[in-house]
Chain A
Amino acid sequence: MTDEALLAFDGVGRDFDVSRPWLERTLGRLPKQTLVAADDVTFRLARGRTLALVGESGCGKSTVGRLAVGLYRPSRGTVRFDGLDITRASGDEAAAWRRRIQMIFQDPYASLNPRWRVEDVVAEPLRVRNRTLSVAERRERVGRLLAQVGLSAADARKFPHEFSGGQRQRISIARALSSEPEFLVCDEPTSALDVSVQAQVLNLMRDLQDRLGLTYLFISHNLAVVEYVAHDVGVMYLGRLVEVGPAAAVLGAPLHPYTRMLLAAVPDLAMTGAARTPVAGEIPSPIDRPTGCAFHPRCPHATERCRVETPVPKPVGDGRTVACHLVAP
């Protein structure tokens, strides 16, 4: 992780106001409530690589994805894309930056307009960004994009309902690629798909990265999928990155107790019949974060210090950063 990072997060936080409506709050004398969806998130993502964010529901991984494409403004810290502070960018600068990023969503049934033909869906970014394109040129580009994701040019005339889930996700990918972005945020792109179809989409995403030099921020709760696609992995717990570094290190020799717990909980095909100790407890609500290290109530190694002092992410050598008092005191 060098300074040539395409995407750089520095101490980024995002709060949401989840207070009751004003009148109710005034009458009931209730305090304002803030949900800290992301806090002190720092990482670098180099060009042509994949950083995967993993964690259980509510850990803030999707919030970080949305911060990365500017769908949310950070409450604290800075997000830089290729050196440009995206929170301060405006006008032409912002327009040029937006052209270079795209997003792929989880549900291929909800993210495609059912009333549009595939060619209109895929060509929409072209129409918005490149108004001078003639109809024939546009059609030709759409045909090439569809071929790139393994569909045929004839599919352009069809409607989304005529496709299966995996094919729809290919259409989403073709749409995302149509503006020739460098950076894609993929939020659980295969979670709604069956395994055999998931394999097709994951292979396609890897091939496209090799061919086009794409950079991915890949958000997933599935550790095995993450290991297959990612170069670097960041593990999130209650809005904080607890461990981030090369995939082989984080998943192969996890240091943070939460990463270890998460890896131990994954049902494994090889472990057929073998017994294991499941982890106790569940994620607390992000509105009511435990003090100190947010993981301390579930951590088997928690000390008094963990209850009081929030651990700061510290480098531990091998390119990895860990936020734990015991690992990096």
Chain B
Amino acid sequence: MSALLEVRGLRVAFETRRGPLIAIDDVSFDIAEGEILGMVGESGAGKSVTGTAILGLLDPPARRIAGEIHLDGERIDILPPEAMRRLRGRRIGAIFQDPLTSLDPLFTLGQQLVETILVHEPIGAEAARARAMSLLAEVGIPAPEARFHQYPHQLSGGMRQRVVIALALCAQPRLVIADEPTTALDVSTQAQIIELLKRLARTHGTAVLLITHDMGVIAETADRVAVLYAGRLAEIGPVRDIVHAPKHPYTEGLMGAIPRLGALRSRLSQIDGAMPRLDAIPPGCAFHPRCAHRVDRCSVDRPQPVRHGDREVACWLHAEHARDR
């Protein structure tokens, strides 16, 4: 499988008066066509910054200081702003957490969809209208003809998020970046949106970067998962392996900390302490002060991701066993 999106050695810094703070430090991953890559981590781990960097929407003080981003083999991180603007929407769609801020309250859903389609596709108004209708039907909005003339405030949260997904799909993008798309929704609605995302990836071959803090959503939706910690990749690999047999001590702690239905454990395992702030990332492995398995080397050398079969783990405990680097 060839990669649709390739991110290589991405580094993002926030410029401050006291010097740059590294929010993303040497992160590399791929997403194949039709694949859903989940990205998890605690608040401040750099999930959203990664998504924003791919979209080329980093605003000062955030700045990409190293790394390359390739879409379909084309390097996109060095495109001029105008070319990047055309690329967004046409080839990369975005879905954000709060559907209300992604929709214009003053225009009907139909107007917003038709406008977006006309910007990206060389088709007439009538064809655009028909396409908007079929998009609304595709994302599971009942009675699209009636909804077409409604305003965002007339819809429930789940319906709004469906419209945002329809907007992101207007130009049939190759890649969709979904940043916490279900976090503002109730569980029953969340389940519907998860199904929708999965269907899109399957039927259109769209690659999806699914950013969320909810491991349950990832387990149900994603093919592979990337675990971020303090702006670095701790572990990346197939969702089954990472959920059921995590290798990195942080991933292991994270999995033990999630309450699961029906598990009836006497006690949740907890990782003591908290993720370091960006201005106080410890030397060596960023996780070592909280790690129960740390060795001397962990506080000195930073471990690089090492391949173990289908996955990569950045941890000295697993570095020796790898066959090749």
Q: Chain A residues in contact with chain B, CB under 8 A?
A: 56-57, 164-167, 194-200, 202-203, 206, 221-225, 227-228, 251-252, 261-273, 276, 278-283
Contact = CB atoms under 8 A, between A and B. Distances in A.
B66 interface: no
B270 A267 contact: no
Given A221-B186, A265-B188, A194 B43 contact: yes
Contact of B258 (A195, A223, A262, A276): A195
B215 interface: yes
A224 B191 contact: no
B243 interface: yes
Contact of B257 (A196, A222, A266, A267): A196
Contacts of B51: none
7 contacts: A196-B253, A225-B259, A227-B264, A262-B188, A269-B219, A272-B239, A278-B195
Interface string B246-271: 00000001111111111011011111
Contacts, number: 128
Chain B interface size band reads 35 or more
B102 interface: no
A318 B75 CA distance: 64
Given A224-B260, A272-B220, 9 more contacts: A196-B270, A251-B261, A263-B261, A265-B187, A266-B261, A267-B191, A267-B194, A279-B191, A283-B188
Contacts of B272: 200
B214 interface: yes
B220 A268 contact: yes
B186 A228 contact: no
Given A196-B254, A266-B261, A278 B215 contact: no
Nearest to A59: B186
B270 A272 contact: no
Contact of B260 (A262, A264, A270): A270
A261 B270 contact: no
Interface in B211-232: 213-217, 219-221
A279 B265 CA distance: 28
A223 B188 contact: no
B190 A267 contact: yes
B106 interface: no
Interface in B126-174: 156, 158-159
Contacts of B256: 199
Main secondary structure on chain B at its contact with chain A? helix
Interface of B: 42-43, 156, 158-159, 186-192, 194-195, 213-217, 219-221, 239-240, 243-244, 253-262, 264-265, 267-272, 274
A269 B243 contact: yes
Given A195-B257, A224-B260, A265-B188, A278 B194 contact: yes
B274 A166 contact: yes
A273 B240 contact: yes
B256 to A, nearest CB: 8
B117 to A, nearest CB: 27
Contact of A56 (B187, B216, B217, B243): B187
A194 B42 contact: yes
A168 to B, nearest CB: 11
A160 B43 CA distance: 18
A159 to B, nearest CB: 16
Nearest to B216: A267
B261 A224 contact: yes
A276 B216 CA distance: 14
A272 B268 CA distance: 21
Contacts of A283: 186, 188
B260 A271 contact: no
Contacts of A225: 259
B82 to A, nearest CB: 38
Contacts of A282: 156, 158-159, 186, 188-189
Contacts of B254: 195-196
| Central interface residue in B214, B268, B269, by most chain A CB within 10 Å | B268
Given A198-B257, A203-B267, A56 B220 contact: no
Contacts of B270: 196, 199-200, 203
B121 to A, nearest CB: 31
A97 B298 CA distance: 54
Contacts of B187: 56, 221, 223, 262, 265-266
Contacts of A271: 219-220
Given A194-B42, A196-B257, A263-B261, A228 B268 contact: yes
Contacts of A165: 43
